[in-house]
Amino acid sequence: MTASYAREAGRTMTHAPVHTEQHNGCLISIYHDDDPESPRAWDNLGTMACWHRRYHLGDEQPREATPVYLARLVNDLYDDDCKAQRLYRESGETRDDLYGISEDWFEHRWADDGCARLLDAISDKAILLPLYLYDHSGITMNTTGFHCPWDSGQVGFIFASLEDVRREYGAQRVSGKLRRTAEDALRAEVDVYDDYLRGEVYGYVIERDGDHVDSCWGYFGDFEEHCLGEARRLCCQ
């Protein structure tokens, strides 16, 4: 396929389209969107916290260790400065001993249960899903994990407080059905973010007799499902 050049609102395409076709007297060209907006800049339900040495991922990139971050999240969700510490309180410790959170304080306590007490406490106040990253000739993310033990692993979490879920859906309480709906919404956010990470973002340019007719960018996922369909619809107007 030869290179094509299309201009729209100052945008110059200097690479070949991934798809071209004639439709209703128009030439449709589909391109990769080289400058897409990160979907994490949108009004999302969830918050992504990710730990990675090389990549800037998600919404938050905590410098503190994972158990310390989760402990702070527990305390924020319960509006209690010592809730997380009490979960790992040892015999003889007073309330004064529990103020402040540090990696050293948790080091020998959370290792025995892999932060299970923190995660259980979070699940009573929020919906939290794990985030996994596969890094091999590009990166991809999901909430279920990958089969490769060498190039993949858990990289963080996506979560939404039950308070935010109630507000988002206008509900008085989070039922089991609503919780599943919110979980699906969080997974959908991860799917769109994965499209962004993999470069699966597209735009179309429509031309008729060599003249620019219309163009639009920022279609995430399979271009045939949304981007191309929208371009075909416009050609029929």
Spell out the domain ranges in the chain. 7-36+200-235, 46-198
Q: What is the pLDDT of residue 21?
A: 97
Q: Which residues of 125-139 are buried (b: 16+ CB within 10 A; e: fewer)?
A: bbbbbebbbbbeeeb
pLDDT at 163: 98
CA distance 75 to 66: 14
Q: Maximum CA pair distance of the chain?
A: 83
Q: Please report the pLDDT score of residue 160 as a whole number.
A: 98
pLDDT category at 101 given cuts 50, 70, 90 is confident
What's residue 145's pLDDT?
94
Percent of the chain with pLDDT over 90: 73
Average pLDDT over residues 111-126: 91
Lowest mean pLDDT among 6-15, 33-42, 90-99, 223-232: 6-15
Q: Give 161's strand partners.
A: 126
Q: Is the pLDDT of residue 9 over 90?
A: no
H-state helical runs in 79-141: 83-87, 103-110, 116-123
Contact assessment for residue 25 and residue 206, using Cβ atoms and an 8 Å cutoff: no
pLDDT per residue over 170-193, tens digit each? 999 999 999 999 999 999 999 999
Contact 204, 30 (CB under 8 A): yes
pTM score over 0.85 = yes
- pLDDT (mean) for 65-90: 92
Res 229: pLDDT:
95
Encoding tokens for residue 140?
């991809």
- Among 46-55, 73-82, 142-151, where is mean pLDDT lowest? 142-151
Q: In this predicted model, which residue has the larger pLDDT, 153 or 92?
A: 153
Helices (DSSP H) in 48-136: which residue ranges?
Answer: 66-78, 83-87, 103-110, 116-123
